[in-house]
Amino acid sequence: MNLGIYCETLDCKDLTDPGIIHLLGSYGVTLAHAIRFPEKDGRFNPDLVAQDLELGSKLREAGAKLCFWPLLPKSIGYWINERNLDAADMMTDAILEGCRRFGEYPDLFVMDVEPPWSQMESVFFQQESSRLKKILTGIRLFLENRNPGRFAWAVRKLTQIVAKLRAENSSVFAAVFPFLIVDLVNGGSVLQDYLEMPVFPVPFDAYNVMFYNSYLPQTVPIFLPPDGAKRALFEYMNEMTKHFQQRAWVTLGSTWEGVIPGNEGKVFSSAHQLAPDIAAAKAAGVNTIWLYCLEGVLYSDQRLLERRPPKESESFFEVILTTSAFEPPINRKWSRKRAVMEWFTRDRLRKLYRWQSKY
Please state the domain extents for the chain. Answer: 2-353
Q: In terms of CATH, what superfamily is 2-353?
A: Glycosidases (3.20.20.80)
* pTM of the predicted structure, to 2 decimals: 0.93
Q: Are 43 and 94 in contact (CB under 8 A)?
A: yes
| pLDDT for 176 | 96
| pLDDT for 159 | 98
Mean pLDDT across the stretch 149-159?
95
List pLDDT tens digits, range 182-221: 999 988 888 899 899 999 999 999 999 999 999 999 888 8
Residue 277: CB atoms within 10 A of its CB come to 25
| pLDDT for 40 | 67
| pLDDT for 343 | 85
Query: 252 Cβ partners below 8 Å, 6+ apart?
Result: 211, 212, 213, 274, 277, 278, 281, 289, 290, 291, 292
| pLDDT for 41 | 62
List pLDDT tens digits, range 295-344: 999 999 999 999 999 999 999 999 999 999 999 999 999 999 999 888 87
| pLDDT for 358 | 46
| pLDDT for 357 | 45
Query: Taking the C-alpha atoms of 97, 99, 102 and 108 in order, what is their torsion angle to the nearest 10 degrees?
Result: 180
